[in-house]
Structures are given as structure tokens and as C-alpha cells.
Structure 1
Amino acid sequence: MAGKSVDRFRAALMQRRLTDTIVTLDASARTADDAAAALGCATGAIVKSLVFSGPGAQPLLVLGTGDGRVDEARVGERVGGPVALGDARFVRDAAGYAIGGVPPFGHNQDLPTLIDRRLERYATIWAAAGTPETVFSMTLTDLIRATGGEVVEVG
């Protein structure tokens, strides 16, 4: 299954005309700290793809920094109603990937996306590429273009 998830994400990269920078790590990158240690980068340069249940139980993607927290109240104010972090089933249904491997795009459906302004600190950012063992790099500009997301304060 892991191979299929990565292949599906690779197709999403190609569809957006982005360079395939997918790397398979020797160890799981299920947490931002794990990924940063494996890549030798700052934890903040790791993009956390968090799927929330928003107003009306609609899925919402928040792309946060690996070293930052997402303030659910602030996100709720931004989207016009309360939000809650989705459970494993909600995430899988909305995104098509398991928690720990959710990439920032290439999901089962288009997800409204908020991008943490704190990612502006990094020239290169890293995100999951379909599994907890795979990541890819890109610029914030490419992330914004690929997701159609809005850069906002989420912390």
C-alpha cells in the first residue's frame, strides 16, 4: 500500500509540474522532530499537514510548521466556525492518506487550505509524500501554487 500512496502523490507532483524531490528515509518521519533529524534541517521547516473538521463537518487542511502549534480557535475564527482535529478515519476519508503521511496536496478531494505564515522563514520546506517514511522538498511559493492555500496566522 505504501508504494501506491507514494505513486499517487508523485502523480500529483507531476500534474502540478513540480520537481520530484521525494526521498525515502531510513526511519519513520511520523513526527516533525523525526523528519528534521533525518533530513538535518530545522524542525520548523517541516510542514505538518493537519486535517480538521470545520464548520458543517467539512474537511479543512492546515499546513503548519513542525515547531509550531495550530490554534484551533484562531483557525475557527478564520473559517467562520469551530474546528476540531480529524480522527484517523476522517483524515483518511478526506485526504486519502493515513495520519503521518498526509501530503499537502493530491488528496481525494480539494481541501480548503490555510498555510502557516511561519513557513516564510525557510527557503526550502519539507512535507510528507504519502507515507511516514517519505518526504519531499519545495519552496513556499510552490506550496502556495500547488495547494491554492492562503498564508495566514494559525498559531
Structure 2
Amino acid sequence: MSLEKVKSHFKQWNRDKDVMEFDSSSATVQQAADTIGVVPARIAKTLSFRGASDKAILVVTAGDTKIDNKKFRHQFNFKARMLSPDEVLEQTGHAIGGVCPFGLANDLDVYLDISMKRFESLFPACGSTNSAIELTCDELFEYSYAKKWVDVCKGWEAEEVKEIVGASDKRV
């Protein structure tokens, strides 16, 4: 089970008990934000792309972003092409809705987008469509074995988000 593999991954930092499991779905950014009680931007979504070889790469971004194709190509030297749901499962070991950079089926390169750095903590999925864990950016970097921080997203504005977070971040 994917969730169990992620929990096992977190045992090395004694964080396996911090994985939250929900009665409701957290498969989409909005569902996860509603379930946890935070703004969608604080959901760390993991996107899977075809790498330069057959191996996928993962890019973890803030929940309110979109990939900027020009920035992506400049950063990685290839076009951003997302994997199909079957390819995501094969490469990561996680099904769509629970994809995360933890407990992966294959040794994949993980990159974190700077859009997440505006938050003290974020909530990535944990291998299932009803799980998450709260992590700081430093923890996310360490626990995902990320290669580096990148700037490959668009659609987020730091000033707008500050206002939203201050007004409606009602974490339970």
C-alpha cells in the first residue's frame, strides 16, 4: 500500500505518526485545503513529468501555481510533458490524488518550486487520496531528498497571498 510505504519512509525521522488520514477526500488541492482548513496555496502538489531519459522527474509546487513552460524549459532543457495516470503510478508508486515525493517506487529526481517558500509550512499528500502531513520547507526538502529549489511556476503573487493567508488561514 502506498500510504504504508510513505509512513515507513517517515519513520527514519520519527514522523510516521504525523501523517494525517482523513474521512473525506484530499485528492485535489481544493479538497485537501477544505479538509485541512487552510488556503489552497498551502497544499504542496507533486507534479510528474517525463524526464530527459525514461525516468520521470517530480516538481513539488504550491497549490495555487501553474507550470510556466518557458521557465521549465529553461531550467530543465526539455519541454514540460506530464505523465499519464498509469505512468505516474508506475514511476512513483502512488496513484493520482495521492502523489508525493516520499516512499517512491523508483529513485526519481525531486525539485521544489520557490512558490512554496512564502509559507512556514505546507501540506503534501502521503500516498493516498485521503492523507497529508504538515512540513516546513526545510523538512520538505530533506524528507523528499530534493535536488534543489527551482523557479518554474507562474500564477502566484506574493502580495495577494499574504492577504489571503492572513485573512482565511483557519487550520484546524
Deviations 1:14-34 (A, max 9, x none): 13x152311112211111111
Which of residues 109, 112, 119 in structure 2 aligns to 1:112? 109
Is residue 102–residue 126 contact of structure 2 (8 Å, CA) maintained in 1? Answer: no
Q: Max radius of gyration: which structure?
A: 2
Deviation at 1:141, TM superposition (A): 0.1
Which of residues 50, 54, 75 in structure 2 aligns to 1:53? 50
Counting aligned pairs with the same residue, the percent is 26
Alignment partners' CA distance in 2, 1:74 and 1:90: 24
Segments of 5+ residues of structure 1 without an aligned counterpart are: none
Deviation at 1:76, TM superposition (A): 2.6
| 1:19 match | 15
Across the two proteins, how many residue pairs are aligned to each other?
151
| 1:132 match | 129
Partner of 2:53: helix, strand, or coil? helix
Alignment partners' CA distance in 1, 2:117 and 2:102: 19
Alignment partners' CA distance in 1, 2:93 and 2:70: 26
Could you state the TM-score of these two structures normalised by the residue count of structure 1?
A: 0.91
Could you state the TM-score of these two structures normalised by the residue count of structure 2?
A: 0.82
Q: 1:51 to 1:18 in 2, by over 3 A?
A: farther
| 2:149 match | 151
Alignment partners' CA distance in 2, 1:53 and 1:18: 32
Q: Which amino acid aligns with 1:94?
A: Q
Q: Which amino acid aligns with 1:47?
A: A
Partner of 2:59: helix, strand, or coil? strand
Is residue 55–residue 82 contact of structure 1 (8 Å, CA) maintained in 2? Answer: no
Q: Give the aligned CA root-mean-square deviation in angstroms.
A: 1.4
Runs of 4+ in 1 over 4 A off after TM superposition: none
